[in-house]
Amino acid sequence: MSQKTEKLLSLLDGQPVIPVLKIENVEDAVPLARALARGGLKVIEITLRTKTALESIRRAAAEVPEAVVGAGTILDARQFDEAAKAGSRFIVSPGLSRELLSAAAGSEVPLLPGAITPSELMTAREAGLDFLKFFPAEQAGGAAFLKALASPFAGIRFCPTGGVSARNAKDYLDLSNVICVGGSWVAPDDLVKAQDWAGIEALARDAAGLAKH
């Protein structure tokens, strides 16, 4: 698992913000991925919250080679397998289960599972995972909670998502145990519906410019 964590970190390549995307219209997948990549956010997470999600992953992965396409909201082994076959280069889950751990162990695709409580963090650590999604970040206690975890869980790093925005992203990125954040603000629904790819590119560029420290 630790080797796969390093693989995931290398895919991120220092990117401070991962766009979390809910794509309703499959025709938006390719131009959206291209706009985000042009803005400097090549690593994107397409969530399995819509009927078009897997096809969106498939198209973006095949037609936008500059993008690193991952799948989010993966809840079980079947979804893990489907997303990997669609071309996902990493898998994101809101939580952690034995079934997901087993699926990840048998795959070359790295898993970024969600964990919040000390017990969940210890379970992930025992499985060899030290890069975790912290979700829902704001609702679970925000940057202050994550800061409190840094000392007892010194070897674990996080990607907070859930309530993270342009307004508070730096609060998280300034923490020593945060690698990056995930957020949907770089591709808001109104701009996607309007197919305002230039506007999304500009938001992505601003987000890519957020300094880690």
Q: What percent of the chain has pLDDT over 90?
A: 96
User: Does residue 213 fall inside a structural domain?
Assistant: no
Residue 87 domain-assigned? yes
Give the domain range for residue 176.
Answer: 2-204
* Residue 55 annotated as catalytic: no
Q: Nearest 5°: phi and psi at 160?
A: -70, 135
Per-residue pLDDT of 81-90, as tens digits, reads 999 999 999 9
Please report whether residue 163 resides in a domain.
yes
Residue 212 pLDDT class (50, 70, 90 cuts): low
Domain assignment present for 154: yes
> Residue 204's CB: how many other CB atoms inside 10 A?
23
Among 133, 147, 170, 201, the one annotated catalytic: 133
What CA dihedral angle connects 48, 77, 89 and 146, to 10 degrees?
80
Has 45 been annotated as catalytic?
Answer: yes
Give a yes or no: residue 212 inside a domain: no
Helix (H, G, I), strand (E, B) or coil at 111: strand
For residues 112-138, average pLDDT? 96
Pairing of strands 157-160, 131-134: parallel
The distance of Cα 152 from the centroid of its chain, to the nearest Å, equals: 24
Active-site residue, from 45, 63, 99, 126: 45
pLDDT tens for each residue of 167-180: 999 999 999 999 99
3-class DSSP string for 20-66? EECCCCHHHHHHHHHHHHHCCCCEEEEECCCCCHHHHHHHHHHHCCC
Q: What is the pTM of this model?
A: 0.96
54 found inside a domain: yes
CATH number of the domain within which 84 lies: 3.20.20.70
* Domain count along the chain: 1
d(CA 57, CA 124): 27
Domain-embedded: residue 57:
yes
In a domain, 209, yes or no: no
